[in-house]
Structure 1
Amino acid sequence: MAVNVHDAAYALEKAIRQSDEYTQLQQMYNVVNADPAAKNMFDNFRQIQMNLQQKQMMGQDISEEEVQQAQSTVALVQQNEKIAGLMQAEQRMSQAIGELNQIIMKPLEDLYGKL
């Protein structure tokens, strides 16, 4: 009997949405978005992050100035209690997704061996 992996994936999506990690992330995201100053600071931080990631993916050099700007922005946002809470919730969610990914990839690792 064949198993429909898409059905399992949708069930996993539903479980993620109901998880403590996701619920806490959603709450912290709402807290940041309800505070215009925090939201603006967080949006600016995310834009800087995305710009640097895009440059990396395109193989472009990142200047020392851009690195320093990113570091100072990280330091600034971490001083905001609301954003720091959101970033911690993001980290917990990311860790949970990483653990799920390891479980999902296990059959391929068993088949091919660890790389």
Structure 2
Amino acid sequence: MNTYDAAYALAKAIKESDEMKRLTEAAEKIKGDEEARKMVKEYIMAQMKSDYARIAGQKEDEEAYKHLQELAVLVSNNSNAQEYLQAFIRWNQVAADLQKIVSEAMSQGMDVLELDK
């Protein structure tokens, strides 16, 4: 199979996947719910900041952690926000798995370029 054909087939499979459909449907709902959209955006940004700080080895900021927990409660109380966030998280899991699979296949033969070998 031609790799370009396979790539287009993968793109089609992604667009037609249940996870992408759920994410798209949830996105449509929060487009019409400004409160939910803002809430989700703020929660995702706060989560990303927390993750980056942890990865960078920074000490956990209690105030930021408390704010993130408060946002989580707000999101859980808004069905549109909760539905979007669940779909977003699931899609990110699928996307990470797909990226790992493709990256591993693409890296074959490149191990000779590693510095420690």
Q: TM-score over 0.5 for the alignment?
A: yes
Q: 2: CA distance between counterparts of 1:23 and 1:89? A: 9
Partner residue in 2 for 1:41: 39
How many residues end up aligned between the 2 structures?
106
Q: Give the TM-score normalised by structure 2.
A: 0.70
Partner residue in 1 for 2:109: none
RMSD: 2.7
The answer to which of 97-106 and 60-69 deviates more is 97-106
Secondary structure at the aligned position of 2:53 is classed as: helix
Partner residue in 2 for 1:10: 8
Alignment of 1:1-115 (within 5 A): 4-5=2-3, 7-97=5-95, 100=98
Distance 1:61 1:5, change over 3 A: farther
Secondary structure at the aligned position of 2:58 is classed as: coil
Give the 4+ runs in structure 1 shifted more than 6 A: none
Q: Give the TM-score normalised by structure 1.
A: 0.71
Q: 1: CA distance between counterparts of 2:21 and 2:28? A: 11
